[in-house]
């Protein structure tokens, strides 16, 4: 172990000499014999930490890997936290898991540890979507819950998302408190794995039915659906949990012509038909789009493995299939919901919507036009959920969203929900078809009315310890050397969410940002461009979100205007060196 740092050696020795199973120890010894020092360093140089999406990592041995011990430690720490926060109470938790390899067995480990700590567990009988876990926590009056998922990450990953009593992911100060308790678990002997059967109850259909009942209540264009019930829809769950819930939800809404991508209805954590199970990637929707072309469908939808994100494809005015990005879909959903609520006379001045700071600012403009308050939160749907819980019983939430294909309609959960998003998107398609239009034409008309906003996300991957350090240096350089211009436009405002300060670069005026501290930078240009730089909280990436906008004079100028905005974004990215 001569080429390993001393602290890494110490961790490895703890695992080799501790109460870990022989298979784990044998794997470590083999890695040492093969001098896989880089892999060992990445596996042991730190403990998995809660980020914006919880605990997530590559499956394997080590303190920085997903395995029964890291998840056991997380569950033991969470158990200790819950017993401190809810003394002398019967503590209840709900557990769900997705289609990923080892999700079911790891979920059993989590249930075992909770039950061993005297905590009552509601355990889903089979895989279920993340939003249904959030719903179950609220429905069953639980103090917490966990879903085993790595969302849209590659097949090597798995994750542990922890939730509070409101059905939302833990936020400050509780997220840090949970991690402090997890960090106190220094040895495998600190984890109680001894399952107590009477503390575990299997749940399923009853919660499924209640979840579906709440979704059906959210329909706002029932007559349009009735007239357009045969609109042709193709759906794929990309081998995941969407296959459990989305088809029944579409049927409950009244859609009668839904074609499922059979190959991708098969539950499989290896995701054999795609490179990545991510509806943001065109490859993930390619089979669904092929099917749509075969049957001349009108809408394609695909959800990620835990069904909290949804991607869509529609036909443009040339009859070509195109993918909407998360900004386009999110903005269209919000515009539709506000339109429908206004038409129904439901906007009383007490409603609000929520978005993150990196989704399109066209949403702010649309909300203002309807007289509806729009709140901006940090990236991570847990912040949207936190705000919703704070307003519960005081203001009425309509809809919220983030650019990474995550949206929520209604207050039944406190996380993004691709199940309700799918049925609302289908309803939206029926609504516009009923008016002789389409989702693409509705998008263009929205741009004509409110302004053409175009966004692009670029992710730069930097793996391992060295990659994490490189990402930190990039952010430091951006802070110390703020770009003077981006895409030919002067940078006039710098927002640093880490220092929680906004600086006018022309006047020098500094104002505070009323959001929690986060490692995010935003450059605002003279012509209204907003460029955000943000290291991911769950992946080894730094993300750049570029948004530019201009007026769209008429629908027939869409393509030339789109091309001109693309040119500006290209120039911005070149100036950033990415």
Kindly list the catalytic residues: 151
What are 318's two structure tokens?
């040339």
Residue 30 CA to residue 486 CA, distance in Å, equals 50
Which one, of 79, 275, 39, lies nearest residue 177 by Cα?
Answer: 79
Alpha carbons within 13 angstroms on the beta-carbon side of residue 40 total 28
Q: Is 569 exposed, middle or buried (0-12, 13-18, 19+ CB in 10 A)?
A: buried
Q: How far is CA 194 from the centre of its chain?
A: 33
Residue 37's alpha-carbon distances to 20, 40, 57, 395, 467, in angstroms, are 21, 5, 19, 55, 16
Which residues, in sequence order, are CB contacts of 411 under 8 Å at separation 6+? 388, 392, 397
Q: Which residues of 138-149 are buried (b: 16+ CB within 10 A; e: fewer)?
A: bbbebbbbbbbb
What are 386's two structure tokens?
């936190």
What are 394's two structure tokens?
């005081």
Which one, of 575, 568, 543, 572, lies nearest residue 358 by Cα?
Answer: 543
- The DSSP bridge partners found for residue 456 are 546
Which one, of 107, 163, 82, lies nearest residue 413 by Cα?
Answer: 163
Provide the edge-to-edge strand list for the sheet that holds 144-148.
55-58, 157-163, 144-148, 92-97, 120-124, 200-203
Computed over its alpha carbons, how large is the radius of gyration of the chain?
24
What are 28's two structure tokens?
């470590």
Q: What angle do CA 535, 536, 539 make, to 5 degrees?
A: 130
Contact in structure between 266 and 239 (CB atoms under 8 Å): yes
Residue 168 CA to residue 383 CA, distance in Å, equals 9
What one-character-per-residue DSSP string does 420-432 give? HHHHHHHHHHHHH
What are 417's two structure tokens?
């929900």
What are 293's two structure tokens?
């072309």
Which region, left, alpha or beta, applies to residue 38 given φ > 0 means left and ψ of -120 to 50 means alpha? alpha
Q: What is the DSSP letter of 149?
A: -
Residue 195 CA to residue 328 CA, distance in Å, equals 47
Which one, of 32, 60, 524, 440, lies nearest residue 432 by Cα?
Answer: 440
């Amino acid at each position: 172990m001569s080429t390993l740092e001393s602290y890494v050696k110490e961790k490895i020795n703890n695992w080799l000499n501790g109460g870990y199973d022989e298979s784990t120890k044998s794997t470590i010894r083999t890695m040492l014999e093969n001098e896989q020092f880089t892999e060992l360093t990445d596996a042991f140089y730190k403990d998995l930490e809660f980020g914006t999406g919880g605990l997530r990592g590559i499956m394997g041995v080590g303190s920085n890997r997903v395995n029964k011990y890291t998840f056991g430690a997380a569950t033991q720490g969470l158990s200790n936290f819950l017993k401190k926060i809810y003394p002398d109470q019967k503590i209840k938790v709900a557990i769900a898991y997705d289609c990923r390899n080892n999700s079911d067995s790891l979920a059993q480990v989590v249930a075992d540890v909770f039950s061993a700590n005297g905590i009552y567990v509601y355990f889903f009988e089979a895989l279920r979507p993340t939003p249904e876990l959030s719903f179950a926590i609220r429905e069953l009056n639980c103090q917490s819950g966990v879903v085993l998922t790595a969302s849209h990450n590659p097949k090597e990953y798995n994750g542990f998302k922890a939730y509070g009593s409101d059905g939302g992911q833990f936020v400050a100060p509780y997220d840090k408190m949970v991690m402090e308790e997890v960090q106190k678990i220094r040895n495998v002997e600190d984890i109680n794995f001894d399952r107590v059967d009477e503390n575990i109850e299997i749940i399923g259909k009853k919660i499924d039915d209640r979840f579906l009942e709440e979704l059906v209540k959210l329909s706002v264009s029932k007559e349009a659906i009735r007239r357009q019930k045969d609109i042709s829809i193709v759906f794929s769950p990309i081998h995941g949990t969407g296959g459990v819930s989305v088809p029944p939800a579409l049927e409950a809404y009244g859609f009668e012509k839904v074609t499922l991508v059979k190959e991708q209805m098969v539950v499989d954590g290896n995701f054999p038909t795609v490179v990545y199970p991510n509806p943001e990637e065109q490859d993930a929707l390619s089979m669904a789009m092929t099917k749509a072309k075969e049957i001349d469908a009108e809408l394609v939808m695909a959800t990620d493995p835990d069904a909290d994100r949804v991607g869509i494809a529609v036909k443009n005015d040339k009859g070509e299939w195109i993918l909407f990005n998360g900004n386009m879909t999110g903005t269209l959903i919000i515009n539709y919901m506000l339109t429908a609520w206004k038409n129904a006379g439901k906007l009383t001045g007490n409603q609000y919507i929520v978005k993150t700071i990196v989704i399109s600012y066209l949403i702010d403009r649309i909300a203002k036009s309807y007289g509806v308050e729009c709140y901006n939160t940090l990236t991570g749907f847990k912040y949207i959920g936190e705000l919703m819980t704070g307003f519960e019983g005081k203001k009425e939430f309509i809809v919220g969203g983030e650019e990474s294909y995550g949206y929520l309609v209604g207050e039944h959960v406190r996380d993004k929900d691709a199940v309700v998003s799918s049925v609302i998107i289908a309803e939206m398609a029926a609504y516009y078809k009923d008016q002789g239009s389409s989702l693409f034409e509705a998008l263009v008309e929205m741009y004509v009315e409110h302004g053409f906003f175009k966004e692009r996300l670029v992710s730069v991957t930097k793996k391992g310890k060295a990659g994490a350090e490189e990402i930190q240096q990039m952010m430091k350089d951006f802070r110390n050397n703020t770009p003077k211009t981006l895409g030919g436009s002067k940078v006039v405002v710098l927002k640093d969410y880490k220092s929680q300060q906004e600086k006018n670069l022309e006047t020098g005026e500094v104002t505070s940002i009323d959001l929690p501290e986060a490692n995010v930078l935003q450059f605002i240009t003279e012509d209204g461009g907003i460029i955000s730089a943000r290291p991911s909280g769950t992946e080894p990436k730094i993300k750049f979100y570029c948004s530019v906008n201009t007026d769209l004079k008429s629908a027939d100028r869409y393509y030339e205007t789109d091309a001109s905005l693309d040119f500006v974004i290209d120039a911005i990215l070149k100036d950033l060196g990415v």
